[in-house]
Amino acid sequence: MAVVHIPAQNRDLTDVAEIREFLAPFGIWYENWDVAGRIGAAATNEEILAAYEPEINRLKQQGGFVTADVINVNPSTPNLDAMLAKFDKEHTHSEDEVRFTVEGNGVFHIHPENGPVFSVTVTSGDLINVPRGTKHWFNLCSDRKIRCIRLFEDMTGWAPHYVDQPVHEQFAPLCMGPSYFEVASGSQAPRGFSE
């Protein structure tokens, strides 16, 4: 389940309805799909696309997307650091960025024109879009592993357009996993130390 963290308000959102309500004014939609038993651990990209074909087709009709693929990133991915370096700096895209997380997790940091910078930590079952032209950046969590379905209007739309005066260096690339919410002696775990 996703977690929205709003540093300027020292606030976290974990309820699906609250997350959707918070993201909607920024043009971001969030869904949480049931993933239990849909695919096996060794599923191929083609098997993943087939398992989620009804949802993919709905999104294609809803958003004008023409194709979908699966990206599988893990510590053994060749040139992983260079690939991640393209997207861990504040940038925009000329089309919506749509991702459904099949497994693993990562953090989308959003810098909207009409609100505070916030992060959305996604994990298995989470679908999110980042609207075209929205300033954002992305980090993997410490396990450096994520497998996502991506939808495209045009494959060339995914080139990052870096922004002038970026703010990404002012925010820690933290990933708020389960240890973030562990309570020890009645207090939350320290921010920035979760895996």
Per-residue pLDDT of the chain (195 residues; tens, 9 = 90+): 899 999 999 999 999 999 999 999 999 999 999 898 899 888 999 999 999 999 999 999 998 899 999 999 999 999 999 999 989 999 999 999 999 999 999 999 999 998 999 999 999 999 999 999 999 999 999 899 999 999 998 866 578 899 998 899 888 766 744 444 343 334 343 333 233
pLDDT of residue 184: 31
User: The CATH number of the domain where 139 resides is what?
Assistant: 2.60.120.10
Q: Is residue 120 part of a domain?
A: yes
Q: Is residue 194 part of a domain?
A: no
Q: Is residue 193 part of a domain?
A: no
Phi-psi label, residue 132: left if phi above 0, alpha if psi -120 to 50, beta otherwise: beta
Q: Is residue 58 part of a domain?
A: yes
Q: Is residue 103 part of a domain?
A: yes
Q: Is residue 195 part of a domain?
A: no
Per DSSP, the residues of 11-41 read EEE-SHHHHHHHHGGGT--EEE---TTTS-T
Query: What does residue 119 show for φ and ψ, rounded to 5 degrees?
Result: -120, 150
Q: Name the domain count of the chain.
A: 1
Which pTM was predicted? Answer: 0.86
Residue 79: strand, helix, or coil: coil
Per DSSP, the residues of 126-188 read EEEEE-TT-EEEEEE-TT--EEEEEEES-GGGGS-EEPSS--GGGS------GGGG-EETTEE
Range of the structural domain that residue 38 is part of = 3-188
Q: Is residue 59 part of a domain?
A: yes
Q: Is residue 68 part of a domain?
A: yes
